[in-house]
């Protein structure tokens, strides 16, 4: 669980959380958890120091009156109904990159669905060696370990699975996001979320996939570095209202698991349909840049492998990877 918080502190918090609006006596907590009353008090103080609001009333006991806006397992677990995604949450106040940590954990045998979540990243990575702005406690930065039964050639499908899932979670939160191929989530011209997929594979089998996602939730314009301010947006900017990050994270994990299950059971076809329906790329004039090459044409479709098909005067080109710029509105 959270590496920074000692176990009995978590247990005291869980006990208070379970009681909801009710007071619980210090005696009940100490009996149940096998702690002295002084230890219970010490843990309550430590929790308060971390932003938990805990009422203490003589003869009634303690009551949890407010939780901080954080993404620890304790905040997330009660909101999750998933069977795999988020069953183990590795939480960090600050980390270099959740993808790097998830890759280490995958190499050490982490199970499918284990998630690394951080409140801030100091070396958040985007696609193609870019950095991902990761201001503390504003947004969502997470990476999920997957162990799909797929040949490596089909692994890119998972990136599209993730983009459909994040798009659904954003729409549920009231933000009309669309997908730019392969996996950027946009609102209008501005990026609200990105996905970085990494994998380890044998020639015929994927060993693990790490799906990393950054979603701009409560960042304001000034929270982004100047160079991305005009290109980035967030749920807060779009809705004019902050979103509870733990609830939003739970919605992302739930949507992700739903689409991963569907992909595992039915293959890529339903994902392809869903991706097309949410796409802001298809039908548009686009420029695709890949390996120093640049090509402009009309984005026609994605094929049965998720590759982008672009029609030019010279014929149709198929792209398995690349950077897309949308040129003209539909
Ligand atoms: C992109 O659009 O370029 C992909 C951005 C992916 C960012 C996320 S944030 C969580 C995870 N950890 C990282 O270092 N990157 C991904």
Cα-to-centroid distance, 62 and ligand 1 (Å): 40
Which residues are within 8 A (CB) of 177 and not within 5 positions of it... i.e. 6 or more apart?
166, 167, 170, 171, 185, 186, 187, 192, 193, 278
* CA 260, chain centre distance (Å): 14
Say what the pLDDT of residue 138 is.
97
Tokens of 178: 């669309």
Say what the pLDDT of residue 329 is.
62
Low-confidence stretches of the chain (pLDDT < 70) are: 1-6, 328-330
Cα-to-centroid distance, 92 and ligand 1 (Å): 16
Would you report the helix, strand and coil content of the chain in percent, each value rounded to 5? Answer: 35, 30, 35
Q: Where are the alpha helices (DSSP H) in the chain?
A: 7-19, 26-33, 37-49, 73-76, 98-107, 156-172, 235-239, 245-266, 269-278
Say what the pLDDT of residue 18 is.
87
Cα-to-centroid distance, 34 and ligand 1 (Å): 42
Tokens of 198: 């990494």
Q: Whose CA is nearest to atom 2 of ligand 1?
A: 194
pTM: 0.88
| 178 close to 167: Cβ distance less than 8 angstroms | yes
Q: Point out the ligand 1 atom lying closest to the alpha carbon of residue 121.
A: 14
Tokens of 104: 């280490």
d(Cα 73, Cα 34) in Å, to the nearest integer? 22
Q: Point out the ligand 1 atom lying closest to the alpha carbon of residue 213.
A: 8
Cα-to-centroid distance, 196 and ligand 1 (Å): 5
Say what the pLDDT of residue 3 is.
42
Say what the pLDDT of residue 4 is.
41
Q: Whose CA is nearest to atom 15 of ligand 1?
A: 125
| 38 close to 31: Cβ distance less than 8 angstroms | no
CA atoms within 13 A on the CB side of 308: 32
Model confidence pLDDT, tens digit, residues 119-158: 999 999 999 899 999 999 999 999 999 999 999 999 999 9
d(Cα 234, Cα 16) in Å, to the nearest integer? 33
Query: Which of 94, 213, 224, 256 is the best mutation target for the ligand 1 pocket, counting ligand atoms within 8 Å of the beta carbon and taking the most?
Result: 213
| 239 close to 187: Cβ distance less than 8 angstroms | no
Say what the pLDDT of residue 92 is.
97
Model confidence pLDDT, tens digit, residues 262-288: 999 999 999 999 999 999 999 999 999
């Amino acid at each position: 669980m959270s590496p920074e918080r000692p176990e009995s502190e978590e247990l005291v918090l869980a006990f208070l959380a379970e009681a909801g609006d009710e007071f619980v006596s210090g005696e009940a907590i100490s009996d149940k958890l096998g702690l002295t009353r002084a230890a219970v008090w010490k843990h309550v103080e430590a929790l308060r120091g971390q932003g938990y609001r805990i009422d203490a009333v003589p003869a009634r006991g303690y009551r949890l009156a407010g939780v901080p806006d954080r993404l620890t397992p304790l905040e997330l677990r009660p909101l999750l109904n998933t069977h795999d995604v988020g069953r183990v949450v590795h939480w960090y106040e600050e980390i270099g990159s959740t993808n790097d940590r998830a890759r280490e954990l995958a190499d050490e045998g982490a199970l499918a669905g284990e998630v690394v979540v951080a409140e801030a990243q100091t070396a958040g990575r985007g696609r193609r060696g870019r950095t991902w702005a990761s201001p503390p406690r504003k947004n969502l930065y997470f990476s999920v370990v997957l162990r799909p039964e797929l040949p490596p050639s089909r692994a890119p499908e998972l990136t599209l699975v993730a983009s459909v899932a994040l798009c659904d979670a954003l729409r549920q939160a009231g933000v009309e996001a669309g997908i730019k191929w392969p996996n950027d989530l946009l609102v209008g011209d501005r990026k609200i979320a990105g996905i970085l997929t990494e994998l380890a594979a044998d020639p015929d089998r994927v060993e693990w996939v790490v799906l990393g996602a950054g979603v701009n939730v409560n960042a304001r314009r000034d929270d982004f570095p100047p160079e991305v301010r005009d290109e980035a947006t967030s749920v807060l900017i779009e809705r004019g209202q902050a979103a509870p990050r733990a609830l939003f994270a739970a919605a992302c994990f739930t949507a992700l698991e739903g689409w991963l299950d569907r992909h595992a059971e039915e293959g890529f076809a339903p994902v392809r349909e869903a991706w097309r329906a949410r796409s802001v790329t298809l039908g548009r004039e686009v420029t695709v840049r890949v390996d120093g090459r640049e090509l402009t044409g009309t984005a026609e479709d994605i094929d049965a492998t998720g590759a982008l098909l672009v029609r030019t005067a010279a014929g149709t080109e198929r792209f398995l990877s690349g950077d897309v710029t949308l040129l003209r509105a539909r």
